[in-house]
Amino acid sequence: MVDVPFDTTAGIPPAEVGEVELYHPKSWWTRYVFSQDAKVIAIQYSMTAMAIGMVALVLSWLMRLQLGFPGTFSFIDANQYLQFITMHGMIMVIYLLTALFLGGFGNYLIPLMVGARDMVFPYVNMLSYWVYLLAVLVLAATFFVPGGPTGAGWTLYPPQAILSGTPGQDWGIILMLASLILFIIGFTMGGLNYVVTVLQARTRGMTLMRLPLTVWGIFTATIMALLAFPALFVASVMLLFDRLLGTSFFMPTLVEMGQLTKYGGGSPILFQHLFWFFGHPEVYIVALPAFGIISDLISVHARKNIFGYRMMVWAIVAIGALSFVVWAHHMYVSGMHPYFGFFFATTTLIIAIPTAIKVYNWVLTLWRGDIHLTVPMLFALAFIITFVNGGLTGLFLGNVVVDVPLSDTMFVVAHFHMVMGIAPIMAVFGGIYHWYPKVTGRMLDETLGRFHFWVSFLGAYAVFFPMHYLGLLGMPRRYHDIGETSFIPASAHDLNAFMSVAALIVGFAQLVFLFNLVWSLFKGKEAGGNPWGGASLEWQTPETPPGHGNWGKELPIVYRWAYDYSVPGAARDFVPQNEPPAGLAAQGSRP
């Protein structure tokens, strides 16, 4: 690789203005509500996702109250407990994390980081948000319909999802499926934008290998989501047919309340295949953007270039591809051919290789770096620790022989909360603390941020570490009340009470965070354009917050990768991506 086609001497004119036809808002409504500006859409996505996320947080409180102090809260009965589980899981995974990472971070950061003026299809992008909002409203409506929301579990397994024993059988399940279908339609519109923007709208000099890893993560996750969500779509439509039209795609012949149902001949296993063909990539749809964000955060706050950039990119692509061939490891207890189990256990464990490469690279980026323990950095470090924790228990559960006894216990709950609950949320918080100054022009309050971090981090461990132990004891998941069980000692109940108290405290810490978001908007310290000394393009905008069209008259030209920190001999400890090389600047070839 000696004769790479680059040229350090010739000045290349910046891309002309007006390449992208920008839509110019004419009124307050089109500027702030029905806006086609990706930055406004990103904020709309984020606020909607956080609002519905607060509902899911309250649901988790209610569940913990019941688990920690069974029998004390008479307003939580077994049906409601199942409804809380279902809605908590569904909201957190799809309506909060997926929407926040791709719709929120994706919309805000992709155009800025690749040096574009906006997404390539702004109108479709706006439509994407409004369809998403509709999906959220339909979901929220299930709390108010007769029978309440569905209690089928977030996996919505038939046949029980649509039989009369399950809460929410009347309206809850119908609206839930309708909401999912809407979400997928809305997401597809947004996803097309993210992919084509990365492919087509990169500014001059921005090759793929100069993209910040955040963009790589979001880009790959979006492609995966575009290909995986159709599986959920197909499953939802077919389940809706079973519920509404009486077809039997998934419904076997069975007896309900002593009577033979009208169903017959369907295959519940088919639903599980379809669901997990979406469900497993979904884990990485949430994890890959987090990986990208963490890579950038670590590099900026340790003032050091990311270690092994190429490997990081390859690992992201490899994880994206592999995640489509592991889905059946969620179905070890569904009665599979043993060779299938063997195959899927193997592919599952192979994913550990690219993932471990990423973890090593993060650690080696930190090695002898100039680590600033800012709030975003604290969250990034917490992410790495938590992800390793959750990943290791994933190795346990990826093996068929270990998974079979553990699969219906709290161990699984602890595992997936660590790996795709706490870890991505840490990345979300880190990302928000990091980019909030760019979005608003003001810093988030440092003291409140540290308080938020330590309570959330230690609190989350107080909730989920003991849960592994309870799982190994054999405490089953999805149970409203364990009652007197011979193999569960009394001390386990004390532990449950402790975890519940910790969960309540963690929840309240999030209110502090929300307060900080609002308070800092008005009273926060002025941030300036580039408070962290970031080298990637989003910190180099002429205005902060970036104006409509992101850049001034000319699009930036990119001369280097996004990670030139602490370069020997450089004037500052970072070199922005759009700063011309020394020779070029001396000639004054820029007009």
From the list 121, 465, 479, 498, which residue makes contact with another protein (rule: CB under 8 A)? 121
309 binds another protein (CB under 8 A): yes
Q: Which residue has the tokens 């219906």?
A: 408
From the list 63, 102, 503, 584, which residue makes contact with another protein (rule: CB under 8 A)? 584
Question: What are 570's two structure tokens?
Answer: 């450089």
227 binds another protein (CB under 8 A): yes
233 binds another protein (CB under 8 A): yes
CB 271 within 8 A of CB 235: yes
16 binds another protein (CB under 8 A): no
State the minimum distance, in angstroms, from the CB of residue 170 to another protein. 19
180 binds another protein (CB under 8 A): no
DSSP-based three-state secondary structure for 224: helix
CB 116 within 8 A of CB 170: no
CA dist., res. 73 & res. 392, Å (int): 36
317 binds another protein (CB under 8 A): yes
User: With respect to another protein, which residue has the nearer C-beta, 226 or 422?
Assistant: 226
587 binds another protein (CB under 8 A): no
User: With respect to another protein, which residue has the nearer C-beta, 195 or 422?
Assistant: 195
Q: Which residue has the tokens 């197909």?
A: 234
Please state whether beta strands 255-256 and 259-260 pair in parallel, antiparallel, or not at all (unpaired).
antiparallel
Contact positions with another protein (CB under 8 A) in 236-295: 237-238, 241, 245-249, 262, 265-267, 270, 273-274, 277
202 binds another protein (CB under 8 A): yes
Comparing CA positions, the residue from 485, 502, 352 lying closest to residue 409 is: 485
493's enclosing H/E stretch is helix 490-523
CB 300 within 8 A of CB 534: yes
State the minimum distance, in angstroms, from the CB of residue 574 to another protein. 14
120 binds another protein (CB under 8 A): yes
Contact map string, positions 514 to 553, toward another protein, x by CB under 8 A: ----------------------------------------
Q: How many chain residues bind another protein (CB under 8 A)?
A: 67
From the list 303, 493, 548, 560, which residue makes contact with another protein (rule: CB under 8 A)? 560
CA dist., res. 459 & res. 552, Å (int): 45
383 binds another protein (CB under 8 A): no
State the minimum distance, in angstroms, from the CB of residue 578 to another protein. 11
CA dist., res. 196 & res. 187, Å (int): 14
DSSP-based three-state secondary structure for 216: helix
Nearest-5° angle of CA 543, CA 549, CA 551? Answer: 45
Number of CB atoms found within 10 A of residue 239's CB: 28
Per DSSP (E only), the strands in 287-427 are: none
Number of CB atoms found within 10 A of residue 353's CB: 12
User: With respect to another protein, which residue has the nearer C-beta, 505 or 567?
Assistant: 567
199 binds another protein (CB under 8 A): yes
DSSP-based three-state secondary structure for 298: helix
From the list 234, 350, 462, 488, which residue makes contact with another protein (rule: CB under 8 A)? 234
User: With respect to another protein, which residue has the nearer C-beta, 299 or 544?
Assistant: 299
192 binds another protein (CB under 8 A): yes
Strand partners, 574: 565
CA dist., res. 254 & res. 415, Å (int): 34
Question: What are 113's two structure tokens?
Answer: 């980081």
From the list 168, 205, 341, 391, which residue makes contact with another protein (rule: CB under 8 A)? 205
558 binds another protein (CB under 8 A): yes
**Length of the chain as a residue count:** 591
300 binds another protein (CB under 8 A): no
From the list 23, 61, 143, 324, which residue makes contact with another protein (rule: CB under 8 A)? 324
CA dist., res. 513 & res. 111, Å (int): 27
Query: Where on the chain is the footprint of another protein (CB under 8 A)?
Result: 1, 4-8, 10, 12, 120-121, 188, 191-192, 195-196, 199-202, 204-210, 223, 226-227, 230-231, 233-234, 237-238, 241, 245-249, 262, 265-267, 270, 273-274, 277, 305, 309-310, 313-314, 317, 321, 324-325, 557-561, 563-564, 581, 584
